[in-house]
């Protein structure tokens, strides 16, 4: 069987033990423990992955980060959130603030209405899905009833209600 991977000696075994104990959260502890098991106890990567209930690929990635950049590279980074955004949250709030008064008066604000101001603020074209996501992120939702057909005639509809058998049948 081939030997366990060799790690650069950024830290001594005693420093690694203290480093593992000083982990601020579970994810960071798990990463540091994996490095400790490989560096100090000379465990194989599949064994460490099985012990920690993570993939071998994750262990190899953590070992590579440690080897390349040292102990600080292994810290768990926060995930989620808006890593790729055109505008900051405050800029989006300011942009939508201009439309709030119109919306409160009952005017319908749609993604297509927002397109030109958003594109001006960003500096390039955006997709309709980006605009819908922007409205959704700020809890703007559709409150207006469905629009009526342009050819709808209320008088004809009322007459139909009076003469239709299904509409006038007792319930």
Give 67: exposed, middle or buried? Use CB within 10 Å, 0-12, 13-18, 19+.
middle
In angstroms and rounded to an integer, the radius of gyration of the C-alpha atoms of the chain is 30
4 versus 168: the higher-pLDDT residue is 4
Share the mean pLDDT of the chain.
84
What span, in angstroms and rounded, lies between the C-alpha atoms of 30 and 20?
A: 8
Q: Which two tokens stand for residue 143?
A: 């409150």
pLDDT tens profile 7-41: 778 888 888 899 899 988 888 899 999 999 998 88
Instruction: Render pLDDT for 64-105 as a digit per residue (tens, 0 to 9).
Output: 988 888 888 777 776 777 767 788 889 999 999 988 888 888
User: Where do we find the tokens 């768990």?
Assistant: 76
Taking only the tens place, the pLDDT of each residue in 47-58 is: 999 999 999 999
pTM of the model: 0.48
């Amino acid at each position: 069987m081939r030997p366990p991977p060799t790690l650069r000696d950024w830290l001594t075994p005693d420093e690694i033990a203290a480093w593992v104990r000083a982990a601020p959260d579970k994810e960071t502890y798990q990463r540091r423990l994996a490095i400790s098991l490989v560096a100090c106890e000379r465990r194989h990567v599949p064994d460490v992955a099985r012990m920690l209930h993570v993939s071998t690929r994750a262990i190899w990635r953590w070992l590579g980060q440690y080897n390349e950049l040292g102990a600080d590279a292994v810290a768990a980074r926060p995930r989620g959130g808006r890593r790729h955004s055109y505008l900051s949250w405050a800029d989006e709030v300011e942009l939508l603030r201009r439309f709030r008064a119109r919306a409160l008066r009952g005017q319908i604000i749609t993604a297509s209405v927002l397109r030109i101001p958003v594109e001006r603020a960003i500096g390039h074209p955006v997709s309709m899905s980006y605009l819908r996501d922007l409205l959704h992120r700020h809890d703007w939702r559709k409150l207006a009833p469905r629009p009526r057909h342009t050819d709808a005639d209320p008088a004809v509809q009322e007459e139909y209600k009076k003469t239709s058998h299904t509409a006038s049948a007792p319930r």
